[in-house]
Chain A
Amino acid sequence: MTDLRPLNVNGIQFDGEYDPGTPLVDVIRNDIGLTGTHVGCRNGDCGACTVLIDGAPYKSCIVPAGRVAGQRIQTLDGLADGDDLHPVQQHFWNANAFQCGFCLAGQVLCTVAALHGNPAADPADLNTALAGNLCRCTGYQQIIVAVSSARAPKTVRTPCVTTDP
């Protein structure tokens, strides 16, 4: 079934055809051509396909695309301002908080959403905020370093973290 209700992705209206019953991630990747949102498990488990819808995180592999027509969809692709990374991305960069990078969209966007709602989120809040994202590289330690530094942007920037045990 073809539907012409437009999707608003990263502030740009997509007027092309899409199947409204298709998982949102497939429309974002295949119809719109934005590939920062990854397809992992297709079960709603891993979080690699996370996008923000009206500012709140969702796993786009289990959201029918037609459901979110007219809402603000934010993907990882639209987070940076040109060459300037979003502050949360910069903290991930500084902390080497990714290995293969596959889970990055979920880790970064869940952090963005959590800190937007509560800039002073404590570590327990941030653990809860990231609980829906699996890092198959098990690189959680560096992710926690990045997220912890992101929650206090006014303090001294965390130096690049090495791989000391």
Chain B
Amino acid sequence: MRSTNLRPTSVYHLPGTIEAALAMLAESGGAATVLGGGTMAMPKLRDAAVHADSHVIDTARITGFGDLAADGTGITMAAGVSYSTLLSSSLTPSLLRAVAGRITGGPQIRNQGTIGGSACHANPASDIPTALVALQATLTIARLGSKRHLPACEFFLGPFCTDLRPGELLVALHVPATPATDWGYAKLKHGESSRPITVAAAQLTRGADDTVVDAAVTLGAATATPVRIPLDGPEQFTTARKLGPSLRTATFDAIHDTCTDWWADEAADRDYRRRVAGVIACRAIEDALSKESRS
């Protein structure tokens, strides 16, 4: 018996190099689906949501596409780095390690899903876009013959919408080194197999005398795109362990002053997300406060 071909119009490619993938993308004239891990794109192909596409370009066998590297400026991850690699590599930024251990889908999805694929999917109700905006990552986007670099906050344009253009491939993500910074992460979801309703990444950076000199929380899943919110009066966090009423209120206010584009999906409506966002942000800040990196 022959297998049921679910996509009779598509041709599957498995390039071994970035250059070969870019050449295939250029040749396809924009009518191609790129597979990162494929955890989101494969079901879409089945559903014929990309029926007009005639080429499927799978990046899974590109040499070096699953590697991390460190230099003086920070960590560079190839776009095909999986969640499992984020968990096992000693180079992984601590925030991404916390994120990778708690994604939805179990070890099978941690083995297959990739940081670049999740970024390009840009589902508001996911972890990676928020983490990349929080880390102020820079994305390297290639097309045949050229490259460009883009801050993560400019990459995510809207729900399931990025600045990636036809013929382009996200190839790498650079996370700058953040010395003296404690990271915290919190997320709200109501079932192990459901998607997050709110995720929050907190960043507390300490000065020479241990005073917190910069504080920010980046919110996602509650909003259509990740929003990084600097917090006024960072020194107030210097000796805090838990957030008292005034810091909680200030955090809630900062969020509600900054965020306008609340997200809604089958898990929660906009009003629910607006109400819980501050609570989850405070949990993320308290997680960062518990990191005890202060000397």
A-contacting 9-mer, from B35-43, B255-263, B285-293:
B35-43
A-contacting 9-mer, from B20-28, B103-111, B140-148, B176-184:
B103-111
- Are A64 and B2 in contact, with the CB atoms below 8 A? no
With a CB–CB cut-off of 8 A, which chain B residues contact A130? 106
With a CB–CB cut-off of 8 A, which chain B residues contact A23? 6, 42, 46
B163 on the A face (CB < 8 A): no
CA distance A58 to B60 in the complex (A): 14
CA distance A57 to B111 in the complex (A): 7
Binary B-proximity of A92-111 (CB < 8 A = 1, otherwise 0): 00000000000000100010
CA distance A114 to B192 in the complex (A): 18
A144 on the B face (CB < 8 A): no
Contacts A20-B12, A67-B58, A130-B106 hold; do A56 and B111 have CB atoms under 8 A apart? yes
Within 8 A of B (CB), among A26-59: 26-27, 30-31, 33, 42-45, 47, 50, 56-59
With a CB–CB cut-off of 8 A, which chain B residues contact A113? 107
- Are A22 and B111 in contact, with the CB atoms below 8 A? no
- Are B106 and A47 in contact, with the CB atoms below 8 A? yes
A79 on the B face (CB < 8 A): no
Contact of A59 among B2, B5, B35, B108 (CB under 8 A): B108
CA distance A20 to B56 in the complex (A): 11
A134 on the B face (CB < 8 A): yes
- Are A61 and B3 in contact, with the CB atoms below 8 A? no
- Are B12 and A64 in contact, with the CB atoms below 8 A? yes
With a CB–CB cut-off of 8 A, which chain B residues contact A43? 43
Within 8 A of B (CB), among A56-94: 56-59, 61-64, 66-67
CA distance A56 to B82 in the complex (A): 13
- Are B42 and A64 in contact, with the CB atoms below 8 A? yes
With a CB–CB cut-off of 8 A, which chain B residues contact A17? 2
CA distance A17 to B21 in the complex (A): 25
Q: Give the size of the chain A interface in residues (CB under 8 angstroms).
A: 41
Within 8 A of B (CB), among A123-141: 128-134
A79 to B: closest C-beta gap in Å: 17
CA distance A66 to B285 in the complex (A): 45
With a CB–CB cut-off of 8 A, which chain A residues contact B35? 64
CA distance A97 to B45 in the complex (A): 34
A156 on the B face (CB < 8 A): no
B295 on the A face (CB < 8 A): no
B199 to A: closest C-beta gap in Å: 18
Contact of B38 among A26, A50, A63 (CB under 8 A): A63
Within 8 A of A (CB), among B192-214: 192-193
B28 to A: closest C-beta gap in Å: 14
A21 on the B face (CB < 8 A): yes
A98 to B: closest C-beta gap in Å: 18
CA distance A64 to B46 in the complex (A): 11
Residue of B nearest to A18 (CB): B3
Within 8 A of A (CB), among B1-26: 1-7, 10-12, 14
Contacts A132-B107, A133-B106 hold; do A42 and B193 have CB atoms under 8 A apart? no
Most buried by B among A21, A47, A61, A113: A21
With a CB–CB cut-off of 8 A, which chain B residues contact A63? 38, 42, 112
CA distance A110 to B192 in the complex (A): 16
CA distance A47 to B193 in the complex (A): 11
CA distance A67 to B66 in the complex (A): 14
B61 on the A face (CB < 8 A): yes
With a CB–CB cut-off of 8 A, which chain B residues contact A132? 105-109
CA distance A59 to B112 in the complex (A): 9
Residue of B nearest to A33 (CB): B1
Contacts A20-B14, A30-B4, A66-B14 hold; do A114 and B107 have CB atoms under 8 A apart? yes
Beyond the given A56-B84, A114-B107, please list 11 additional residue pairs across the A-B interface where CB-CB is below 8 A: A19-B3, A44-B43, A45-B105, A45-B193, A56-B111, A57-B111, A58-B112, A59-B109, A62-B112, A63-B42, A128-B107
A/B interface sample: 28 pairs, CB < 8 A: A1-B11, A1-B12, A3-B12, A17-B2, A19-B12, A20-B14, A21-B7, A22-B6, A23-B6, A30-B2, A31-B1, A31-B3, A44-B39, A56-B84, A57-B107, A57-B108, A58-B112, A63-B38, A64-B42, A64-B58, A66-B12, A66-B58, A67-B58, A67-B60, A106-B108, A114-B107, A129-B107, A132-B106
